[in-house]
Amino acid sequence: MDQFLLSSPSHKPLPSAPFAESKDPHAAKPAPRILVVDDEALIADTIVQILSRNGFIAEAAYGGQEAVERARIHCPDLVLSDVLMPHIDGVEAAIQIRGLCPDTRIVLFSGQAATVEILARAQKRGHTFELLPKPIHPTQLIKHLRE
């Protein structure tokens, strides 16, 4: 989504230090580093912006494979991933990331009924993931991620 101009481009590398100027009460702790994964770039980019404004250090990935590659380089504290994506879907990526980064919290979000079946398959392989509905209001998303 090149035409979509965001004030803070999501492609920039992760800042090396937490936002010192943030007024967020949680800023006292090191800001959680979140990898936001969605094949719809507009959704990934807007969530990255929202989270960045609320005391997280967020970065976008636009597919499952890309998410796994990012995690391989540097484990985030949290991965927020869409489920149904082409090539490697969110559940498959989540399972791979969990193998690479056992301490990373993984939250999936999806607007599809079929997601439940996909999660059931993951469960058979011994993996359970948190799942949030899509659409989710940003305030609820932030609240959930801070829990």
Partner 1 sequence: MDVKSPTSETAPNSTLTLEERLHRLVAEGLLPANEATFAAVLDAARQYGEACQSQTAVRLSFALESGQLGTWTWDRATNMLDLDERAAEIFYVKPHTPIDRSALRDLIVAPEHRSLTADGLQQSLETGSLYKAEYRVLRPANFQPPPNANLDAPPFRWISTSGIPTFKPGTREITGMIGTIQDTTLRKQHEETIRQTEKLAATGRLAATIAHEINNPLEAVTNLIYLCKTDPEIPPLAQRLLEMADSELARVSQIAQQTLGFYRDTTRPIEIDLNVLLEAVVDLFARKLFSKKISCSLDLAPNLRIFGLQGEVRQVFSNLLVNAIDATSSGAIRIRGRHRTCRDCKGVSIIISDSGSGIPVHVRQKLFAPFFTTKESVGTGLGLWVTRGIVEKQGGSIGFRTRTEHPSGTCFRVFLPAESSETNVLSTPQTQVLQ
| Interaction between residue 112 and partner 1 (CB under 8 A) | yes
Among 93, 106, 119, 145, the residue binding partner 1 under the rule CB under 8 A is: 119
Question: With contact defined as beta carbons under 8 Å apart, do 110 and 83 qualify?
Answer: yes
C-alpha span between 30 and 27 (Å, rounded): 6
Using the rule CB under 8 A, is 135 a contact of partner 1? yes
Check binding of 105 to partner 1 (CB under 8 A). no
If binding is defined by CB under 8 A, does position 78 make contact with partner 1?
no
* Nearer CB in complex with partner 1: 100/116: 116
- Cis peptide bond prior to 30, omega within 30° of 0: no
CB 82 within 8 A of CB 37: yes
Check residue 49 for interaction with partner 1 (CB under 8 A).
yes
Which range, of 9-17, 21-29, 60-68, 129-137, touches partner 1 by CB under 8 A?
A: 129-137
Q: Does 75 bind partner 1 (CB under 8 A)?
A: no
Kindly state the smallest distance separating residue 54's Cβ from partner 1, in Å.
9
Compute, in degrees rounded to 10, the torsion defined by CA atoms 114, 76, 48, 129: 20
State yes or no: residue 134 binds partner 1 (CB under 8 A).
Answer: yes
97 counts as binding partner 1 under rule CB under 8 A: no
- CA–CA separation, 30 and 23 (whole Å): 13
- Give whole-number Cα distances, 13 to 36, 59, 61, in Å: 13, 8, 12
Contact set with partner 1 (CB under 8 A): 40, 42-43, 46-47, 49-50, 53, 84, 111-116, 119, 130-139
